[in-house]
Amino acid sequence: QLQVVESGGGLVQPGGSLRLSCAASGFRLAYYAIGWFRQAPGKEREGVSCISSGDNSKYYADSVKGRFTISRDNAKNTTYLQMNSLKPEDTAVYYCAAVMFYSCSQDNPAADFSIWGQGTQVTVSS
């Protein structure tokens, strides 16, 4: 069974940091691109970051550029999203998703991704 499982969410104060993990099972992560998406209450799901298969090129939404860093450890079959300088507007459920042999770009539609996790809640509040 192909699946991804997110972890690492929680409650953090503004300016704080969290690292989200996306553990893949049932497939070899190296062949897949991973996208991170988020959805806040009452808002549409938006793409946050993406790391390509192959060349590992990375893309970020303008709202998180310079604060978030995506990375992967193929040996651990895990992708990470390091989130620094968190703001209240970063509060959302964060999802990771996988797609095989995919080159990310600045716009990565959620419909392109075939394997989705259940999400992890990130709350930024004082």
d(CA 49, CA 68): 8
Residue 84's CB: how many other CB atoms inside 10 A? 14
**Average pLDDT in the 52-73 region?**
96
d(CA 120, CA 101): 25
Q: For residue 103, what are its two tokens?
A: 């080159």
pLDDT digits 0-9 by tens, 13-28: 999 999 999 999 999 9
Residue 125's CB: how many other CB atoms inside 10 A? 10
pLDDT digits 0-9 by tens, 85-120: 999 999 999 999 999 999 999 999 999 999 999 999
Residue 71 pLDDT: 97
Report the amino acid identity of residue 44: E
